[in-house]
A = this chain, B = another copy of it.
Amino acid sequence: MRNLALRLMYDGTDFHGWQVQPNGITVQECLQDAVEKILGVRESITGCSRTDAGVHANDFCCTLRTESSIECCRLTGALNAVLPDCVAVKSCKEVPLDFHPRYDCKSKRYLYRIWNSQAKNPFLKNYAWHYKSKLDADILNEQAKQFIGTHDFAGFCSSGSSVEDTVRTIYDCGVVRNGDEVDFYVEGNGFLYNMVRIMVGSLIEISEKRIEKDTLTAIIESRDREKAGRTAPACGLFLDYVSYGEAEV
């Protein structure tokens, strides 16, 4: 048995997320189909995260366990030839049998893109939240720093999650403006269900003055989902980078 780590990039617009679902096509299912076409067997595939419907990935890691002796570079090329254009395999590397893409992950970085202009941008319709009122990126950046550190993020988690431990460490977080685009980035050791989208929604509500400035720390401490802001739309969210530290997958 071999354990192969694949790095993917995908446009999540037409997917019902990563994980196989009864109703609707998912990235995992798509990849299983492609692997079956190439190797002739439906192999076990494990992902680093469960991205939601409409969420994208610039970088996603999953493992494929197989008895096949196919070379990694040949597998990459063959998979890319049969996968739909919205999914790409960036790399393939053989890793130890006990490597697990979720449990061995050291940190994940997310990017949330906001198109901040009165005018629509047809090219970003599926890749950014179109938010019309002018945002002050400097103020949002300053406010976002309250997320950094180890906190219980129970209030920044949508219901429907079965996770028991809601403590996560955020290493870095901020907001930058590039022309009419406002980007929120966050890196941490793990994220709860919809956590990044609720972080973004909360920052937006500071901008709208529905959440007072400098109160995010208190809102986090309250562990109360009602106190945090709304959930920002899925289309602006990208899993941007997944790090395995020295393992260098």
Contacts and interface: CB of A to CB of B under 8 A. Distances in A.
Number of this chain's copies in the assembly equals: 2
Residues of A in contact with B, size category:
10 to 19
Nearest to A120: B88
A89 B122 CA distance: 10
Given A80-B120, A119-B80, A120-B80, A125 B86 contact: yes
A123 B127 contact: yes
A122 B80 contact: no
B88 A9 contact: no
A85 B122 contact: yes
Label chain A's interface by main secondary structure. Answer: mixed
Given A9-B122, A10-B122, 20 more contacts: A9-B119, A9-B120, A9-B121, A9-B123, A11-B122, A11-B123, A11-B125, A80-B119, A80-B120, A85-B120, A85-B122, A85-B125, A86-B122, A87-B122, A88-B119, A88-B120, A88-B121, A88-B122, A89-B119, A123-B127
